Chains A and B, each alone.
Chain A
Amino acid sequence: MLSIQNIAKSFDSLQVLDNLSFDVKDGEFVAIVGPSGSGKSTLFQLIGGVSSIDQGAILLNGEDIQQKRGTIGYMPQQPCLLPWRTVIENVTIVEELQQKPNFERAKGWLEKVGLASFMQVYPNELSGGMQQRVSFIRAIVSDKPILCLDEPFSALDEFTRLEMQAWLLSIWEEYRKSILFVTHSIEEALFLADRILVLSKRPATVKKEIIVPFERPRKEEIRHSATFTALKQQLFKYLQEEKGDMYVD
């Protein structure tokens, strides 16, 4: 599936990533947590092909996708919906760039997740949470082998965030496409992911890997289990160690 192999990246004299390697298997949900400024967004820019890597390789299904754009499904931090397009027109934009959009499939997805009645609505009439739902469906409808989610819920309020996590989980557990999920919320990562990668501070590399043992489909209750708390503390400790001078920048 997606394979990141020993990549390094620096901007001018600042080395952001160094010798970073990991894999995302087919149908796996991998979360990446790391101290702020540890190059999580840079990683996505490299996978997305927006900037070039200095060393190493990025393979998607065995194919080198270095500097190749449009090979991944992407959901940014802000919803990034085009205000002059209706929900259905927004959802099909990625396809529109490459071929004729398949409105039927897009409609099917919107119906499935309960957004059918908003199909012809403009984004400014939707709440922040709703906009993020549309944004996620847009990433799914783009029909790429892997979805990259860049802190998708960090701009939402706590209550909406919990709601969105459960929503995402319910869809994903049915849909099971590979997801690479960057977050700075430990709980979010534990609740959603199969595997969590902890990044070190700059230059970032994979510091620790944690397999999340909860079975799927997951229930809200796991948040209160002893394992959850223990893992949370462990992850917190790792991040504390990496904090160091990170807040100076």
Chain B
Amino acid sequence: MKRALQKGRTIIFIAFLLFIWELVVHIADVPPWLLPAPSIILVEGLQSYQTFLPHALATVQLALLGLAIGVGCGLSMAIVLHRFTFIRELFYPILIMSQNIPILVLAPLLIIWFGFGLLPKLIIICLVCFFPIVIAAMDGFRQTAPELKHYFEMIGATKAQTFWKLEWPHAYPAIFSGVKIAATYSVMGAVIAEWLGAKKGIGVYMTLAQSSFRTDRVFVAIFAIVLLSLLLFSSIRLIEKFTVKGRGYAQHSKHR
């Protein structure tokens, strides 16, 4: 009940902000190519629905595929880094440093190396998704209660058993937090990848709209990206609910 009320309040507030925007555009008489009013964006969105949908679907496909690969790579990396101290000491600092390289700088390089196909795009999304998952999973593994680890030692569990039966399930909530962040990033990653050259996708739609000064369409794309990210985020929350919650985990995931 309280949650529903809170959500209602958020929606009303967003509606209020949109209203202000509409008002400002009308009062100040801002030309639509500079900043279109929300009503114009909505009308454009409804009108170009047919042409926009295939673009959105292409982006969703790309984002999901990239996210899946990113989650796979991220988890494998986290497991390797967690279980082999030597490799962790070697690679962890590099991993952190790599996050200081803006993806937009890296993207043209990837195009030069791998062409315009699917591969460089997936690499971009993978790079964006990968980091939050590695960090979250490693934190989850590491934060396993020491008394539980000691108990596992005393009952004669091997290193592998301790990992798969204790640390791995213990990290579920943390991993889900990481995947949720990665999921929202994945849509953004997909759009950036599409800017660099693709036949279809929200990124392509955006570039076309931008070059023809259709600011309203740029905003349609922006809202679509926000919506898709939210949708992906919620679906992962749903999956989390079924796999983690109700299974007695302490509610240590704070991201809702």
Contacts and interface: CB of A to CB of B under 8 A. Distances in A.
Given A78-B147, A93-B165, A97-B161, A84 B153 contact: no
B167 to A, nearest CB: 11
A142 interface: yes
B165 A48 contact: no
A125 B156 contact: no
A71 B247 CA distance: 31
Contacts of A74: 151, 154-155
B166 interface: yes
A80 B146 CA distance: 10
Of residues B156, B157, B172, B247, which shows the largest number of chain A Cβ atoms within 10 Å of its Cβ?
Answer: B156
Interface in B42-74: none
B148 A80 contact: yes
Interface of A: 44-45, 48-50, 69-72, 74, 76-78, 80, 82-85, 93-94, 96-98, 122-125, 142
Contact of B248 (A49, A50, A83, A98): A83
Contacts of A77: 147
Contacts of A82: 148, 165-166, 169
Contact of B169 (A78, A84, A98): A84
Contacts of B169: 82, 84
Interface of B: 147-148, 150-151, 153-158, 161, 165-166, 169-170, 172, 247-250
14 contacts: A69-B154, A69-B157, A74-B154, A76-B147, A80-B151, A83-B249, A84-B249, A85-B248, A94-B156, A96-B165, A97-B156, A97-B165, A122-B247, A125-B248
A134 B153 CA distance: 19
Chief secondary structure at chain B's binding surface: helix
A154 to B, nearest CB: 13
Q: Pick the most buried of B150, B154, B157, B249: most chain A CB atoms within 10 A of its CB.
A: B154
A48 B154 CA distance: 5
Contacts of A49: 156
A97 to B, nearest CB: 5
Contacts of A123: 248
B111 to A, nearest CB: 44
A76 B248 contact: no
Contacts of A48: 153-154
Contacts of A72: 154
Nearest to B156: A70
A169 to B, nearest CB: 24
B248 A84 contact: yes
A84 B247 contact: yes
Contacts of A85: 248
Across the A-B interface, give the 3 residue pairs with the lowest CB-CB distance, nearest first: A70-B156, A122-B248, A69-B156
Nearest to B147: A78
Nearest to A41: B150
B250 A124 contact: yes
Given A76-B147, A82-B166, A50 B154 contact: yes
Nearest to B169: A84
Between A48, A80, A122, the greatest number of chain B beta carbons within 10 A of the residue's beta carbon is seen for A80
